[in-house]
Structure 1
Amino acid sequence: MKNTSEKITFYSTLSIGILLVFIGLFFLLNPLAAEAGFGISVPVNGNFSFHYIKGIRDLFSGITILGLLWTGERRALGVLLLAGTIVPVMDFCLVLHNPAYEAGKLIQHLVAIIMLLALGGYYLSSTAKKTSHAL
């Protein structure tokens, strides 16, 4: 790593990847406790489908981020982070439109939106575009 900006973005991205893996596993292994931290309440009646969908989504996202970071695919990582911003935006909207939402539960989603936009933008602006002859 060359400079402070690269170190900050690297460790921020690493943290996000690890955190998403943890959140994904948390939703898969302890769905009700994870739901409480997310900011919405889903009537389950023994059906944890929502929790498992959320868990596998976050686990996949975290592993993908870590894989791209590890292999040095910074431009692809930038695209992924920017495109992935749709996830916390929708999570923010889901929590906001929940009749029993708590304002404090919105902050984590807002922070994720800001971080993904900033990191994705950094990776795209700091990496050279490779020319491709593919169709």
Structure 2
Amino acid sequence: MTTRIATALALLGAVFILYIGLSYLIAPETTATGFGLPEWPTGDAVAFMNLKGVRDTVSGIAILALLAARQRYALGILTLVIALIPIGDMITVLSWNGSPAAAFGIHGVTAVLVALTGTLLLREHKTAATPQSALANS
């Protein structure tokens, strides 16, 4: 059951972040307003939206690549590391007088779900690595 939940969360997270990343690359002017900051860059500074789009798209591809390669332990480690991205986004929104609702409701919740996914993946690895005889003697 843990394996199915972890797989579903990883797939859902990958699809979600791919959608967000591609949205920032294709239509940053409409996507950016949901991030939670009070103002958006204009002129040449709009290129920073492409940076976010590339970052998010690559994150989603990395998750899918490790799922496809059946590298679940590595995926668990990666998702725990990736959970730092929405934490950084949350801190950025709060530091620049952005919306606390967006900071916690979007970025904070995302960080928790991504960390939960990583924890489940690592937990399933630990459970699989524990010999059955050791479990019986516990």
State the partner residue of 2:61. 63
Preserved CA contact (<8 Å) 2:3 2:121? no
Q: Distance in 2 between matches of 1:105 and 1:32?
A: 18
TM-score normalised by the chain length of structure 1: 0.86
| Identity percentage of aligned residues | 29
Corresponding residue to 1:22 among 19, 27, 50: 19
Corresponding residue to 2:50 among 44, 49, 52: 52
Preserved CA contact (<8 Å) 2:90 2:107? yes
- Paired AA for residue 94 in structure 1: T
Preserved CA contact (<8 Å) 2:3 2:124? no
Where does structure 2 lack aligned partners over 5 or more consecutive residues?
A: 130-138
State the partner residue of 1:80. 78
* TM-fit CA distance, 1:70: 1.8
Preserved CA contact (<8 Å) 2:79 2:115? yes
| Greater RCO, 1 or 2 (C-alpha within 8 Å, sep 6+) | 2
CA RMSD of aligned residues (A): 1.7
**What secondary structure is seen at the aligned counterpart in 2 of 1:87?**
helix
**What secondary structure is seen at the aligned counterpart in 2 of 1:43?**
coil
**Residue deviations 1:28-80, cap 9 Å, x none?**
01111111011123221244221000000000000110111122110000110
- Dislocated runs of 4+, deviation >3 Å: none
**What secondary structure is seen at the aligned counterpart in 1 of 2:41?**
coil
TM-score normalised by the chain length of structure 2: 0.84
Deviates more, 1:84-93 or 1:119-128: 119-128
Query: Higher helix proportion, which one?
Result: 2
